[in-house]
Chain A
Amino acid sequence: MLTAEDKKLIQQVWGKMGGAEEEVGAETLWRMFTAYPPTKTYFPHFDLSQGSDQIRGHGKKVVAALGTAIKNIDNLSQALSELSNLHAYNLRVDPPRFALQLLAQCLQVALAVRLGKEYTPEMHSAVDKFMSAVAAVLAEKYR
């Protein structure tokens, strides 16, 4: 799965966000709601207009959780255990195999927009693998 090199690259990518994590999170969500309207069905209680406080707040939460996962990259299962329970039993988002793939795609786009040429194939690969690993952990408790 994640090699030592992958882990290094992921830290690097995260480092390059330089404090813009909240913005990246909000942009990722907005892109997901725009490109994949069915994902909005999980947020009927949100103001989903562009730039809404709720989207910003939630985007910040999502990126923070990913940041925590990265800090505990050698033990994702434990680090994401709470979130795994939440997604499986409360949120019951369509198993992360599918829904998270859409979030991951939009995160990749948001990072590529920001980093341009710096978003190398190696980084792209590492982030893709990381998001797959996160999705796998979140899906663990579904059934």
Chain B
Amino acid sequence: MVHWSAEEKQLIASVWGKVSVEECGAEALARLLIVYPWTQRFFANFGNLSSPTAVIGNPKVQAHGKKVLTSFGEAVKNLDNIKGTYSKLSELHCEKLHVDPENFRLLGDILVIVLASHFGRDFSPACQSAWQKLVGVVAHALARKYH
């Protein structure tokens, strides 16, 4: 089980409390598809992803980004059992979606950058540290059921 200090929990909660899941989710997913274009392979049916503008404006990207970050909220609510929280999703990403777990790490790092751009100086090094740890734990949990 992952150990979270009281400070880490507080830093995670305080950022999460101010996050617009819809906005940040859409932005994080869009950036994933723009910065690492090969990730578009998982979204062949999303329509126009031909340029950064197209990706950002794509309603399916926005909707899916919101879905992904909403799910992330489950980790924030269940810091003491992230493994259990993502057990089913892990199986899904392996068996149905066939997503290389490396992509979870990429998305996690992008989410941290999106948070940094939204919160500026408030996204302190200690804050970043707690969140890098969180995205790492989530990525690990999502990869756990792969076979």
Interface residues of A (CB under 8 A from B): 27, 30-31, 34-36, 105-106, 108-110, 112-117, 119-122, 124-125, 128
Contact = CB atoms under 8 A, between A and B. Distances in A.
Contact of B34 (A105, A108, A121): A121
Given A34-B129, A35-B128, A121-B56, A113 B116 contact: yes
13 contacts: A34-B125, A35-B128, A35-B129, A35-B133, A108-B113, A109-B128, A115-B117, A116-B118, A119-B113, A121-B56, A124-B113, A125-B31, A125-B35
B47 interface: no
Interface of B: 30-31, 34-35, 52, 55-56, 109, 112-114, 116-121, 123, 125-126, 128-129, 132-133
Contacts, number: 66
A124 B111 CA distance: 12
Contact of B35 (A112, A116, A128): A128
B120 to A, nearest CB: 5
A114 B120 CA distance: 6
Given A30-B125, A31-B125, A124-B31, A112 B109 contact: no
Given A109-B123, A121-B31, A31 B128 contact: yes
